[in-house]
Amino acid sequence: MPELPEVETIKRVLEPQLKGLTITKVTVNRPEVTAYPAADEFCRLLTGQRVSGMMRRGKFLYILLENGGRVILHLRMTGGLLFTPADFPQEKHTHIIFEMDDGRQLRFSDMRRFGRFWMLQNEEVDTYSGIAKLGIEPFDDELTTEYLILHLGKRKKAIKECLLDQSIIAGIGNIYSDEILFTAGIYPARPAGSLRQEEWERLARVIPERLTYFIEKNEITPEEYLETKGQDYRNTPFLQIYGHAGKTCPVCGSLLSRMVIGGRSSVYCPGCQKN
């Protein structure tokens, strides 16, 4: 489910709550969810550790520990994190529970079980999670017209597929690639190599602008987040085309179309995004 704006929202909600708490017990109900190390070692290493903060990188989350260790997780399609009182009703498909020293629990649930956890010690190099292969953050100063042209300017594959390539820019998924290309007025199936200078300029501007906008629209209090079980993506009413195939374009009134690009369902406006 979550792309960068949602993962950032989760980080902003959870970090102030978890910071300073010590993990007293870890329960792993589905051992395949801990990709590294194996579940028993994962639990052993984390028990007794104190949380110093959280970070986001692309769609990955970090839970940082005072001893220098860190938990890394990726929610993939349907993963969710909730910080709950101990007696809060448990979500179906809850695979990991971290009990904290204030009596509350951090719970990971994931219907489709694609989400993964890793745990690395202070000095340990992360060759496991895939974070090392990520490209730049969308809000980095490095995200410039020149960067896009350098890395994508000669690619034959569709610009939409390029935006989904986590090794170039980290964090963009199927929803926001569609939204970004709509705002930039670029037909999603265009070979990246066919984009003109001014289109790369527009993308360099629109990518951080749209993601920032959707992070802001997602803002939620910890109480609201818990009430809605972390499933309330408040920015969805502000999506202009994702999920709106067959409806009219909010800008030009054309009928929004849908096509499959790189195996992913894609929505675009034939009026605003000409081939």
Partner DNA sequence: CCCTGCCTGCTG
Partner DNA sequence: CAGCAGGCAGGG
Q: Which residues are catalytic?
A: 2-3, 59, 264
Tokens of 66: 């005072």
Eight-state DSSP code of residue 132 = G
57 binds DNA (CB under 7 A): no
- To DNA, the closest distance from the beta carbon of 114 in angstroms equals 4
Eight-state DSSP code of residue 33 = G
19 binds DNA (CB under 7 A): no
Tokens of 21: 């708490």
Among 11, 24, 102, 111, which residue sits at the site for DNA (rule: CB under 7 A)?
Answer: 111
173 binds DNA (CB under 7 A): yes
When the beta carbons of 141 and 260 are compared against DNA, the nearer one is 260
Q: What is d(CA 242, CA 182) in angstroms, rounded to the nearest whole number?
A: 10
Task: Kindly state the helix (H) or strand (E) to which residue 83 belongs, with its residue range.
Answer: strand 79-84
DSSP codes of every residue in 218-258: T---HHHHHHTTT---TTGGG-SSTT-TTSB-TTT-PBPEE
Among 121, 236, 248, 275, which residue sits at the site for DNA (rule: CB under 7 A)?
Answer: 236
Stretch touching DNA by CB under 7 A, among 19-27, 101-109, 141-149, 152-160? 152-160
Q: Of 175-214, which residues contact DNA (CB under 7 A)?
A: 175
156 binds DNA (CB under 7 A): yes
Identify residue 18 by its one-letter amino acid code: L
When the beta carbons of 114 and 274 are compared against DNA, the nearer one is 114
247 binds DNA (CB under 7 A): no
- To DNA, the closest distance from the beta carbon of 233 in angstroms equals 4
Where b means 16+ CB within 10 Å and e means fewer, 58-95 reads bbbbbbbbeeebbbbbbbeebbbbbbbeeeeeebebbb
SS3 category, 24: strand
When the beta carbons of 253 and 263 are compared against DNA, the nearer one is 263
- How many binding residues for DNA (CB under 7 A)? 32
Residues that bind DNA (CB under 7 A): 1-3, 6, 32, 58-59, 74, 76-77, 92-93, 111-114, 130, 133, 155-157, 164, 166, 173-175, 233, 236, 262-265
